[in-house]
Amino acid sequence: GAGVSQSPRYKVAKRGQDVALRCDPISGHVSLFWYQQALGQGPEFLTYFQNEAQLDKSGLPSDRFFAERPEGSVSTLKIQRTQQEDSAVYLCASSLEGFGTNEKLFFGSGTQLSVL
């Protein structure tokens, strides 16, 4: 695709519900990142994939958060039993090359999650 696509754009969940956020990176991009961005803050790293391999998940806040990229393209971030503190914008970004190549990121528009 022309850019990184994320869906849904907005998601409202009741506390305790499970949610799934989708990211469709630029075709052929090896690296994929998920970030969480609270209002007025910079993006906080959650996890990193190189193709289908999840190389780093150290930023995931708890075991309620799970991400996958089974075929090395589309990725899903799943949050189980959502809590109010999970309310944030979830950004996905991709880059052409893999680990250590230090390339610019292309970001999606994000999913704004509101947990009531």
Partner 1 sequence: GQNIDQPTEMTATEGAIVQINCTYQTSGFNGLFWYQQHAGEAPTFLSYNVLDGLEEKGRFSSFLSRSKGYSYLLLKELQMKDSASYLCSPGTYKYIFGTGTRLKVLA
Residue number with CB closer to partner 1 (56 or 68) = 56
Select 45 or 80, whichever has its Cβ closest to partner 1: 45
Position 22 contacts partner 1 (CB under 8 A): no
Give yes or no for residue 91 binding partner 1 (CB under 8 A): yes
Collect all residues with Cβ–Cβ distance below 8 Å to 2 and sequence separation of at least 6: 26
Calpha distance 21→68 (Å, rounded): 11
Interface region with partner 1, contact rule CB under 8 A, candidates 11-19, 21-29, 72-80, 102-110: 102-110
Structure tokens at 116: 């009531």
Q: Among 44, 54, 72, 76, which residue sits at the site for partner 1 (rule: CB under 8 A)?
A: 44
Query: Does 25 participate in binding partner 1 (rule CB under 8 A)?
Result: no
